[in-house]
Chain A
């Protein structure tokens, strides 16, 4: 078991927990929390996939000097691309959570209820 595998399996379990919460909870805020747990799971999977055994952070200073042979850099760092993607995904995640919570406030103002089963206008 290396760190990458642990992180990927934790991420998958977090997604399952998030989906479980989204599908079973009645309170809208709990559903939003389920989405945010789902989000964290996705981020863990992506960072875990980029992990390389024994690698250090992709920052070129001290331990991995840029002047040395380039093969050293390649052998010494973890994959920076998933990290860059997750970086932006976390910020978008906050924006999406805030948007969902704004909908929650609006729905509450309208019906004075947070129970998802009281919103059945489009139920078939």
Chain B
């Protein structure tokens, strides 16, 4: 029962961060929200008895791809302001 409540609240958080990621005007917030979607999805995979997938999603979806997004944001912004 407790895990069902955790799963449902995780789902709500995932959907809220996904909408934030897609609709916000601030690119930094969007990238962080997209990373948050992956991070909470990885907790969801753990509840779905998929630890392998959870590890991959946590390391790649929320770690490496967020870093790549930030490198690109920095590259694209650095020219604009300076």
Residues of A whose CB lies within 8 Å of any CB of B are: 1, 3-4, 6-7, 9-10, 13-14, 17-18, 20-21, 25, 27, 29-30, 32-34, 36-37, 40, 43-44, 47-48, 50-51, 55-59, 77-78, 83, 86-87, 90-91, 93-94, 97-98, 101, 104-105, 108, 112, 114
Q: Chain B interface mostly helix, strand, loop or mixed?
A: helix
A98 to B: closest C-beta gap in Å: 5
B44 partner residues in chain A, CB cutoff 8 A: 7, 10, 44
* Assembly CA distance A22 to B20 (angstroms): 14
- The reply to whether B18 and A94 form a contact with Cβ atoms under 8 Å apart is no
Task: Give the size of the chain B interface in residues (CB under 8 angstroms).
Answer: 41
Q: A3-B48, A14-B15 are in contact. Are A37 and B56 (CB under 8 A)?
A: no
Residues of B whose CB lies within 8 Å of any CB of A are: 3-4, 7-8, 11, 14-15, 18-19, 21-23, 27, 30-31, 34, 37-38, 41, 44-45, 47-53, 56-57, 60-61, 64-65, 68-69, 72-73, 75-76, 79
- The reply to whether A30 and B64 form a contact with Cβ atoms under 8 Å apart is no
B41 to A: closest C-beta gap in Å: 5
Contact of A90 among B47, B48, B60, B69 (CB under 8 A): B60
Q: A83-B50, A114-B76 are in contact. Are A97 and B68 (CB under 8 A)?
A: yes
* Assembly CA distance A7 to B15 (angstroms): 11
A43 partner residues in chain B, CB cutoff 8 A: 41, 53, 57
User: What are the nearest 3 A-B pairs in CB distance?
Assistant: A21-B22, A10-B11, A101-B72
